[in-house]
Structures are given as C-alpha cells and as structure tokens.
Structure 1
C-alpha cells in the first residue's frame, strides 16, 4: 500500500510549475516515491539567517527573522530520503541556478559546497511555507559542477550517514541568492538506538521534533514526539 503525506500532491503540483522559472536549466523533476517501511537514520536542521556562506566562502546575511526546520528520514539501503521542511518568515520568489532553490549541500559549517539533493520548494500562504515527500536516488540537482557533471551524480545517502556535520540544508530566494537560512544536519536518535550507517527503525509513525526535541532526544536517547501519517 502506498504511503504518503496528505499535502504532498498539492506541493508537488505547485513546485513542478515553478521549476523552469527558478532553475534556468532543463531538468526532470525527481519523482515522488512511497515511504519505505524502515529508515537507517534521521536528521534535523535548525536553519537560521546568520550562517549563510556564499560561493567565495564569505559570511553574508540571510533574510532577517527567517527560520527553517528540515527533518530528514533516510533509508540508505534503498537510497530513499523523506523530508518535511518548514520555512517561517521566508518571503519573495525562490531563485537558484540549480533545479530548485531548496537543497542539501555537501558543506561543513562555515564552508561553501555544492548541492547534492534538490527538494521541491516549500509553498504556502502567509508566513509559513512547507514541503513534504520522499525521493529516491540517483539524485540530480540540475546544476553542473566543475567536472561537467550534475552535482548530484554519484552521490549516495551513505555519505550523509558517514558525516552528517559535513552537510547543510538551505533555501535561496532572488533577494538572498546565497541563502535565506542555513543549518548543519544533526543526527536524531531513533527508538533509543543511535542510527546512521547501521541502525534501523520501522516507520509505523513519522517523527517530527524541533530544537527543544533534539536536545531532549539526545539526552534521553529517544525520539520525543510522534506524528501520524495518512495512507492512500
């Protein structure tokens, strides 16, 4: 039975229409896939505007007052990543030379780095924009690297599991081209087991935690909040 999130279809349709305008390149949208029955690791990103690094490695301001929460669930055996992204206070049109403006970059804190995965840009009315779903590799970003290949070519989710702190989540707009908000991936314990490159947890429920939850989970060794999901 296919499992997905209730708002995924609307998000996918809306973001697909905006791909050509924001990308400036030819790109085939990464297809939505069913959520797997288990995950090998989970991560969260608390993204803020004071951590933006441009392509020259310089610190530049993001969008004042904006924040982002990126929650990722990974099954690296099947190369599937599921995402729940919430942006608050991000305004204006998305813009990026990649296929979309919302990414995981291979970049340590304070360093620039290429996007490895492009996600549908969060959408919504008012102050909050959201995006949710699951994608399966091989991943493409629509951005050509120095080697002439797409920056997602050859990328594996096991690379995130091997070094989550070496990856960052962010999003870009026309006004804040280097990034509106950005933050490093932080691993989240699953069911009391420190996962990543090994452990596994079944997906009878989605897990969603914020900044306080990350600290509580790290101290207690458990994920603190569960959020149910729809099935179709």
Structure 2
C-alpha cells in the first residue's frame, strides 16, 4: 500500500492566495506534466546576487539589487518536480550553455557544480518575472559533462531529498553569465510529517512558514494549508 503526502495550497493571512496559480501549466519543455496529487518533500531557496560562484570556484558579482524566490515540490516516487520561480530586478537576456538559463545545480554553498535540472526561464513585464509548472524525469539539461553525458544523466530527485543543502537554484543572464542570483535549497516542513519518508496523515493542518519567498508570496504571513487525501 503506497502512502503519500497530501497536496499543498498556499494562502496569505490577508486572504486566499492560490499556491502557484499556474502550477501544472504545460510548457514547451521536455518532460512537462500536470501537477501530481501528492508530494514527498518541498524546498525553498532565497536567491541573492552575493552568493554567485564562477566555474573556477571563485566569488563573482551577481546583479545588484536582484532577488529570486525559488520554490520546489518533489514527488520522488514518480520523479516529478513542480516549481514556482519568481525573479525581481533581473534584467537583460538569459544566457547559458544549458538548454535554459534557470537551474538547480549540485554544489554546496561557496562551491560550483553542474546543473542537474533545467527549468523554463521566468518571463514577464516590468520588474518581476515568473515561471511555474511541473517536469518529470528522466531529466536533461542539454549541457555535456566531463564524462561526455548530459549533466542530468542518472540524476534522481531522491538525491535532493538526501541532502538538499548540496543543491542550489540560480539563473544566468548575458550580463551575469556565472549567475544573476543564487540560493541554496532549504527543506520546508510539510505539516509536521517528516518529508521524504512516505509519511501520510488524514488531518487538515495549517502552519506558518517563515522561509523567505515561500510560494512566491513575498513577505510575512504565508500559511500553508494541507489538503489531505485518503491512503491508497
């Protein structure tokens, strides 16, 4: 009997806010799929320009004043990652040798590492760019590693669940090729049920999350409401 964690939705203290209003929307991207009914874990990353590390492992300037709010929900049983990405103050064209310029890389803070996941670049008018949807593996980045294979070859979402701090989200532009903003992944608790372990619950629980940028709802007062499903 497979047990799964329930779907999450987000609301603000001021009223209802759709969690990733366009989550599940199909993109012209390999592996794009609808949002699943459950997730095994969830992560957030607050991306800033002072965290950029270049390919030589040295600190590099990002785009001053820019920020990123990267939120990811994983179903590692089905190899599905859903993403809600918001960039503020990132300008100019995207640029990367990978097939898109917005990634999850495998590397600890202060280190460089290869991209393992590539997401549709956030788009939008004005100061804010967004991107939301879900992708299913096997994943590809379009970037060849030292072994001659795509840098996502053999990658599993369970690797993120095993050590989320060993991964970061970022985006690259023509003016800031090493990265405009970057942030290490941080696990978000899912209703008090330990994530990544196949837990389940039939209770409906609301709980506050203090991680910056969670659910692309900037500022305090973000609340997650857990919608339970019966075990199947």
| Uncovered stretches (5+) of structure 2, i.e. residues with no partner | 1-18, 215-221, 228-232
Aligned counterpart, 1:106: 106
Matched residue of 2:85: which SS?
A: strand
Matched, 1:40 2:47: no
How do 1:19-30 residues align onto structure 2 when only pairs under 5 Å count?
29-30=29-30
Please report how far the alpha carbon of residue 224 of structure 1 lies from its aligned counterpart in structure 2 after TM superposition.
2.7
Residues 24 and 134 of structure 2 are in contact (CA less than 8 Å); yes or no, is this contact kept in structure 1?
Answer: no
Aligned counterpart, 1:224: 223
How do 1:22-171 residues align onto structure 2 when only pairs under 5 Å count?
29-171=29-171
CA distance in 1, matches of 2:177, 2:72: 24
Residues 51 and 59 of structure 1 are in contact (CA less than 8 Å); yes or no, is this contact kept in structure 2?
Answer: yes
Aligned counterpart, 2:8: none
CA distance in 2, matches of 1:97, 1:208: 39
CA distance in 1, matches of 2:71, 2:188: 9
Matched residue of 1:178: which SS?
A: coil
Alignment CA distance shift 1:169-1:208 (3 Å): farther
Aligned counterpart, 1:180: 180
Matched residue of 1:194: which SS?
A: coil
Residues 41 and 200 of structure 1 are in contact (CA less than 8 Å); yes or no, is this contact kept in structure 2?
Answer: no
Residues 70 and 84 of structure 1 are in contact (CA less than 8 Å); yes or no, is this contact kept in structure 2?
Answer: yes
Relative to its length, the structure with more helix (as a share) is 1
Please report how far the alpha carbon of residue 194 of structure 1 lies from its aligned counterpart in structure 2 after TM superposition.
2.6
Please report how far the alpha carbon of residue 76 of structure 1 lies from its aligned counterpart in structure 2 after TM superposition.
0.3
Alignment CA distance shift 1:166-1:200 (3 Å): farther
Aligned counterpart, 1:195: 195
Alignment CA distance shift 1:126-1:11 (3 Å): farther
Residues 69 and 210 of structure 1 are in contact (CA less than 8 Å); yes or no, is this contact kept in structure 2?
Answer: no
Aligned residues: 200
CA distance in 2, matches of 1:30, 1:208: 34
| Uncovered stretches (5+) of structure 1, i.e. residues with no partner | 17-28, 215-222
Matched residue of 2:165: which SS?
A: helix
